[in-house]
Structure 1
Amino acid sequence: MPDDLLLEVLRAAREHGPRPALTDARGRTSTYRELSDRVLGTAHRLRAEGMRTGTRMLFSVRPGPDAIVLALGTVAAGGTVVFIDPGVGPELFASRFALADPGWAAAESLLYAASAPGPLRALARRRGVLLPNYGRLPLRHIRSGPWLPGVPVRAVSTRSLFRAVPGAVPPDPDPDQEAVVVFTSGTTATPKAVVHTRGSLGAALRTLATRCELGPDTRVHTDQMMLGLPALVAGAHWTMPPYGFAPSADPAAVAAGLAGATHTFLVPADLAVILDSGVALPGSLRQVLLGSAPVLPPLLKRAQRALPDVEFLAVYGMTEILPVAIATADEKIGHGGDLLGRPLPGVSARLAPDGELLVSGPNLCRGYLGEPPLTEHATGDLARWDDDRLVLTGRKKDMIIRGRTNVYPGLYEPAIADLPGVAGAVMVGVPDAIGDERIVLVLTALPGTSAGLAQRVRAALPDLIDASALPDEVVLVDELPLAGRLRKIDRTALRERFAR
């Protein structure tokens, strides 16, 4: 039978009924049986309220067990969950709203209150957040939380949806059903949204659950659905940190939350902060998944020294298809380049004539909302084969043009970052007076190694990288700028900082 996200979760619920499934930040736990009852009850009541197959729901509910139940219940009712950020600005929100063409909206009660005319909306505006008036959207509404001024009077509460319905019937298999829409890039004029089906998500979750060896004896601590949903498929226990919690802000709280956990997910920047803090992570950890930004050997070496019994896995993928490949810390450190690893079972990969990586597989999204279906995804990443393993050589959009030479930073940054004393290395192109680009190499230092580091690195570069890629300037900074929720390196900020 083809993969199916919904049926996989419900199968696990039948198999592991009394075992703990989901625990929120307050320690409240739902068993697998309770999870199944709440999901099926939600689906039954949504259909009774008028939801039909193909109906899309704007989804702005904070990560937590209630959000998981509501999302799965919506899909079980035949609907589609459209993840949308109401704080993106009025014009972009309006264009995304028009593309999604929703019939329902689900949001926190506080969001309804803060977006309605009144003191909360004025406060949000003073903080630079321009919210649409959610309660005035011409949709059916679901509120998560108590009724507050600004919440539509007829909004359905999640509490009323979640009650079990005796004899509720599970949905039929339908791997082709549209399940999730995620907005990614795009502009106000042409917004872009990825569409996943129950089948593509099911394939992704099965692959991760198998590679991460998740099962009833494991506990996953994360707010990332990428790891949490595979845990549910495998019968594991998923515990969630407080909403909005930033690991880098309080490493001690991270360690406390991970007590008893076997698996978690971190972005590299957060792992670096935790290692710098000296806070000891619990001995129960077996695997730490790393992703959403480049995972370089210097960080992995530090992580292995601090946690020698933990397996660190660098996950390569994107919204359109996840995961594509996974490399262990030993593999990445031993390779020297930016190793992605072998394509995972079922994933096909090939290189375009310009070196761009093209991927496909059962976990590939259906396509972009309003566009023809995809048969493969052009990643925008440049890669090469090393036997049967993929090695990242750069990003097409990060390419630096110097004279007649195209310089791809990703081809050289891992080797530079592996030099003694270097914590991080980023190459950016800065326009010069004649339209060419200067190459600026920006470094951060490991503790106690900053004195003379830029000079030592410059001296080592001719024997390390191609002459055509040698930087015009090598600078040392205290820290690299990060941007976005996933804390990726902000190359735009670096270009602006070093422009002349």
Structure 2
Amino acid sequence: MPPARDLQPLPVPSGSGALDVLPTLQRALDGAGPALLPVPDEPTEESRRVLDALGAGTPLAPGEDADDDPTALVIATSGSTGTPKGVLLPAAALRASAEATHRRLGGPGCWLLAMPAHHVAGIQVLVRSLVAGTRPHAVDLSGGFRPDGFAMAAQAALQGPGPHYTALVPTQLGRLLSDDGAGLTALRKFDAVLLGGAATPPSLLRRAREAGVAVFTTYGMSETSGGCVYNGIPLDIAQVHVDGETGPVALAGPMTARGYRGRPDSAAFTDGWFRTGDLGRWRDGRLEVLGRADDMIVTGGVNVAPLPVERVLAEQPGVREVCVFGIPDPEWGQAVVAAVVPADRAAAPAADALRAAVRERTNAASTPKRVVYLDELPLRGPGKPDRRALAARIAGEPSDDR
């Protein structure tokens, strides 16, 4: 029996420096060398915690690797718990995801990396490029994501033969649309723009399509090698099961991880299915995801899913971003809270108007008991609002209703 392969850190620079890892990534896809754990190249307390928790520098355990399909990447994800987990992604799963994505979008093409490549959405841009045999380009993220920086990188990427693809999170798309400059002009020229990492407000999606952007919303996670449902329709390799009319979502297919590092008995992986922890339903033949089951707010004995409330609020005039969550309440058990980032803080929409919109479009239980106004939402991962951080912060603060 050959010796167990080690799990080695893969420090990934931001921006164009991320392209330097392509040769190492190619070797991992080919099954040569160790399995790789992508982390930011600038050491942080978070990255050190991930390296320690996932046993970087130590061998993969039995069941975490296979001679005929080696584990290429171990992607760190905290999910909704904040505890680091290492998602074991075989080379075949990454390739299957990349190839299915190309089939859905219109064939192998040239990719522009616009997000950190130590997350699954970013590193899959590099994997797709390797599978396609094309050289990717990258946006300079040293000063954060800026529309002018995107425009500059996109100009270089669009000069090569197509088709041309990129992947964004909703916050990035919103900035490009609001800037309405060279970045948006360049974005319109891409044959497909994958949009994931966080729920996309319908109003943002509508604005993008009205602006001529070829947006594909994606649903997936590290455990499925990234997105496996595009515009609500599964990729041709993906199976989706929803338990009941509205219930837990499970995913299966060759893009699925083989499990978690150090957690051989995880109940999330059962009989070839990955149980996502999300709630969803089928609507007009498309999967509609309602959010995490553990994000569900129980207020006065009624279950309230945050995502439908967020969709209503995001469509209201003057709302740039919103996140809905629950905080402890002595009367209701939990109170529904909406954290709103106004387009103009000096002219923020009135809390009563926001509540009325939710009550009209959903129900009384879903109506926020509190509305708080923030300059920005705390984020985790590639661009998801951090509900836990918001709940901890807001629980001890007075409301800023107006």
Aligned-partner Cα distance in 1 for 2:181–2:306: 33
Amino acid at match of 1:385: W
Deviation at 1:302, TM superposition (A): 2.6
Q: 2:218 aligns with which of 315, 318, 322?
A: 315
Gap regions ≥5 residues in structure 2: 61-65, 159-163, 397-402
Deviation string, structure 1 residues 82-117 (Cα, Å, up to 9, x no partner): 2246533698356435376159xxxxxxxxxxxxxx
1:72 maps to which residue?
A: 26
Alpha carbons of structure 1 residues 312 and 198: separation in structure 2 relative to 1, 3 Å: same
| 2:255 paired with 1:304 | no
Please show how residues 35-434 of structure 1 align to structure 2 within 5 Å.
54-62=5-13, 63-76=17-30, 77-84=32-39, 86-88=43-45, 92=49, 95-96=52-53, 98=55, 101-102=58-59, 176-185=69-78, 191-215=84-108, 218=110, 220-222=112-114, 224-242=122-140, 244=142, 246-247=144-145, 250-259=146-155, 260-261=157-158, 262-281=164-183, 282=186, 284-305=189-210, 307-308=211-212, 310-321=213-224, 322-327=226-231, 341-352=232-243, 355-372=247-264, 374=269, 375-433=272-330
Assess if the C-alpha contact under 8 Å between 1:214 and 1:236 holds in 2: no
Aligned-partner Cα distance in 1 for 2:143–2:376: 21
Aligned-partner Cα distance in 1 for 2:293–2:257: 22
Alignment root-mean-square deviation, CA: 3.3
1:332 maps to which residue?
A: none
Deviation at 1:320, TM superposition (A): 0.2
| 2:336 paired with 1:439 | yes
Indicate the SS of the match to 1:83. strand
1:116 maps to which residue?
A: none
Assess if the C-alpha contact under 8 Å between 2:323 and 2:340 holds in 1: yes
Aligned-partner Cα distance in 2 for 1:379–1:420: 33
Indicate the SS of the match to 2:330. coil
Q: TM-score, normalised by structure 1?
A: 0.64
Deviation string, structure 1 residues 309-334 (Cα, Å, up to 9, x no partner): x301111110000322111xxxxxxx
Assess if the C-alpha contact under 8 Å between 1:480 and 1:489 holds in 2: no
1:18 maps to which residue?
A: none
**How many correspondences in the alignment?**
362
Deviation string, structure 1 residues 69-92 (Cα, Å, up to 9, x no partner): 022224532531122465336983
Q: TM-score, normalised by structure 2?
A: 0.79
1:106 maps to which residue?
A: none
Deviation at 1:489, TM superposition (A): 1.4
Assess if the C-alpha contact under 8 Å between 2:378 and 2:390 holds in 1: no
Aligned-partner Cα distance in 1 for 2:57–2:81: 13
Assess if the C-alpha contact under 8 Å between 1:267 and 1:487 holds in 2: yes
Indicate the SS of the match to 2:312. helix
Aligned-partner Cα distance in 2 for 1:462–1:254: 39
Assess if the C-alpha contact under 8 Å between 1:298 and 1:423 holds in 2: no
Aligned-partner Cα distance in 2 for 1:481–1:187: 16
Assess if the C-alpha contact under 8 Å between 2:168 and 2:196 holds in 1: yes
Q: Percent identity?
A: 28
Deviation at 1:393, TM superposition (A): 1.6
Deviation at 1:412, TM superposition (A): 2.6
Assess if the C-alpha contact under 8 Å between 1:175 and 1:198 holds in 2: no
Indicate the SS of the match to 1:463. helix
Aligned-partner Cα distance in 2 for 1:485–1:447: 26
Assess if the C-alpha contact under 8 Å between 1:177 and 1:197 holds in 2: yes
Aligned-partner Cα distance in 2 for 1:195–1:378: 15
Alpha carbons of structure 1 residues 213 and 369: separation in structure 2 relative to 1, 3 Å: same
Aligned-partner Cα distance in 2 for 1:209–1:90: 32
Gap regions ≥5 residues in structure 1: 1-50, 104-172, 328-340
